Chain A
Amino acid sequence: MHIDVRNVTKRFDSFTAVRNLTLDVRQGELVALLGPSGSGKTTLLRIIAGLEHANEGQILFDGDDAVARHVGERRVGFVFQHYALFRHMTVFENVAFGLRVAPAERRMSNTDIKNRVMSLLSLVQLDRLAARYPSQLSGGQRQRVALARALAIAPLVLLLDEPFGALDAKVRKELRRWLRRLHDDMGLTSIFVTHDQEEALELADRVVVMNQGAIEQIGTPDEVYNTPATPFVYEFLGNVNKIPCTIANGAVNLWGLAVTAETVDGAPVPAGSAAGFAYVRPHDIEIVAEGTQRAIVRHVGAAGPTARLELEVAGVHAPVEVQLIRQAFLDLGLKVGQTVAITARAARVFPARS
């Protein structure tokens, strides 16, 4: 199903959780809503589900206005952050619930319900635990029951609120891969909320980066990571060095690399001299034999496939982080206290917000 979010605004008392937000999710897509807490991502998900009314704006499902439709009529499978399993019902009854409460004229026979529930449970590999109660399951198992329960009503859209938030790292990785496969096999349209960038980048077709109730950038994982649209996305996604600099006539020379300054909203870059920040990823800094910029090695972390260095650069307050592949690090033979020359391979410059 195609989901159209148009100019949606949601206010709670004096707090605006979502402001004038527009988003397009295409049939079959797996989209991640990524942002820090308070960015409005869960509220947006709840508005799409119909668990919350927007103050302004429209939600279109395949072009039809969904706002008038009650949450129960939207055919939305919602997986809650803490699963919200019915604790007095067995796993089987939890999954069967949506089928049992269907209006009489659409309700399946008991045999059909049984078959459908069991096939869903085998899909999530829980068929042997059908008679258990939620309290007798592990976190990962509860998560899968919640998913099977949401899938039972044959939803057109699957919405997941921090689906892996409460699980430990190993289970999380497994479930992530498994969810991707499930999404593809069932031909669903899915949206999930997360604050974990790794999760969003690994799992989603497109990532929606949100901040303070608005979208900072929409793009493929590659786009949002490699060409962040705004300083916020730069800082939120991946490690980045934020180097204060002075923009002169719309450009900056950063350690020998000429960078043209740009603005978030396409407004003209201030003419003349202006304060700005250059954003450089740690792996885009090179250590060279000859260069204009000198730096002192202050810390070396050599464990793992890449080495992490912290350099002291004159005029930059925070240590500058550099990432080298192991072999390059070994070839250079760097030591703490050594003075080196650095240059940047790639960087982007934004004027400082006034």
Chain B
Amino acid sequence: MTVVAARTPFWRKPSVLPGFGLSMGLTLLYLGFIVLIPLAAMILRAAGLSWDEFVGVVTDPRALAAYRLSFGASFVAAVVNIVFGVLTAWVLVRYEFPGKRFVEGLVDLPFALPTAVAGIALTALFAENGWVGQILAKAGLKVAFTPLGVVIALVFIGLPFVVRTVQPVLQDLDKEVEEAAASLGASRLQTFRHIILPAILPAALTGFALAFARALGEYGSVIFIAGNLPMKSEIVPLLIIIKLEQFDYAGAAAIGVAMLTAAFVLLFMINLLQRWSRSRIGAF
């Protein structure tokens, strides 16, 4: 073992276990070929454009309209999900009701159901002759093939995130703290507002950000219900595909890079949120 220790490079601690070279080498090779090199290829492709050309592509009116829709719809959908996600997490943790286990399992459906299937199902449901669409049409609300349809699809796709981030935090919440608030005269609503909400907020925001990030890139479930009219109901991922179909590879790469940047910013924010969340929970 001393031989191993003596040969251990400075950047890792010695260990009696074998296989570091093999497993690490395999990991890096695979990561490099599958993820890093192709991603670099896209950035390289976008870099083929001059700065002005790049700015021109990513800020042309059609692209701007697509950003507005993608960001706007993702935001609205994430707001819906943070409200109903917290509600659902609350109900699942605190109450007993028939079918609870069924709901518990079904929450993860959007992770398991192929997006194309979700897309056509939601379209059938919300089309003007669909089960839900009929009712909404009577109320004068048109959902399918409008930006509202995009929101519906994105609510579906982001549904599990808030529930799954808030649930464990609610579970670990100390009931004595709520009892303390009650004994000091707080109403149930005041206890929720001043005691419970601050405790679950970081987790809820993390779920919100995850749902938002997922919605931004979502394609399959949206395109069936969206209508896909340029400037009106065209999401950013679709714009990339349209550019590809027109053989505008550089343009597709440029918009891809813009989206990737947005995704990284979100990822960074989610990391900060999770750190905040942990510091809150781990206080003592």
Taking the complex as a whole, does A directly touch B, i.e. does some CB pair lie under 8 Å apart? yes
The reply to whether B283 and A78 form a contact with Cβ atoms under 8 Å apart is no
- Known: A88-B198, A97-B194, A135-B283. Is A153-B182 also a contact (CB below 8 A)? no
**Complex: chain A residue closest to B283, CB-CB:** A135
* Pair B184/A149 contact, Cβ less than 8 Å: yes
A contact residues, total (Cβ < 8 Å): 30
Minimum C-beta distance from A279 to chain B (A): 39
The answer on a CB contact under 8 Å between A82 and B176 is yes
Complex interface bits, B168-183 against A, C-beta within 8 A gives 1, otherwise 0: 0000001011011111
Q: Are B284 and A72 in contact (CB under 8 A)?
A: no
Name the CB-closest residue of A to B281: A87
Q: How far is the CB of A50 from chain B (nearest CB, A)?
A: 8
* Neighbouring A residues of B43 by C-beta, 8 Å: none
User: Which range contains the number of B residues in contact with the other chain?
Assistant: 20 to 34
8 A Cβ contacts from A66-102 to B:
70-74, 76-78, 80-82, 84-88, 97-98, 101-102
| Chain B residues positioned under 8 Å from A77 (CB to CB) | 183
B183 partner, pick from A76, A86, A88, beta carbons under 8 A: A76
B80, CB-defined interface residue at 8 Å: no
B271 at the interface (CB under 8 A from A): no
Contact residues of A with B, CB < 8 Å?
A: 49-51, 70-74, 76-78, 80-82, 84-88, 97-98, 101-102, 133-135, 149-150, 152-153
A101 to B184, CA, bound (A): 8
Is the CB–CB distance between A72 and B280 below 8 Å? no
Chain A: minimal CB distance from B170 (Å)? 15
Stretch at the interface among B5-13, B185-193, B241-249: B185-193
- Given contact pairs A87-B284, A134-B284, A78 touches B186 in the complex (Cβ within 8 A): no
Q: Please determine whether B283 and A80 come into contact, CB atoms closer than 8 angstroms.
A: no
In the complex, the chain B residue whose C-beta lies closest to that of A97 is B184
Q: Is the CB–CB distance between A98 and B184 below 8 Å? A: yes
CB pair B176 A153 closer than 8 Å: no
Interface residues of B in 34-60 (CB under 8 A from A): none
A98 pairs with B179, CB closer than 8 A: no
B109 located at the interface, meaning its Cβ lies under 8 Å from any Cβ of chain A in the complex? no
B181 surroundings in chain A (CB, below 8 A): 86, 97, 101
Task: Name 8 A/B residue pairs within 8 A (Cβ), A-sorted.
Answer: A51-B182, A72-B184, A84-B174, A86-B181, A97-B186, A135-B284, A149-B180, A149-B184
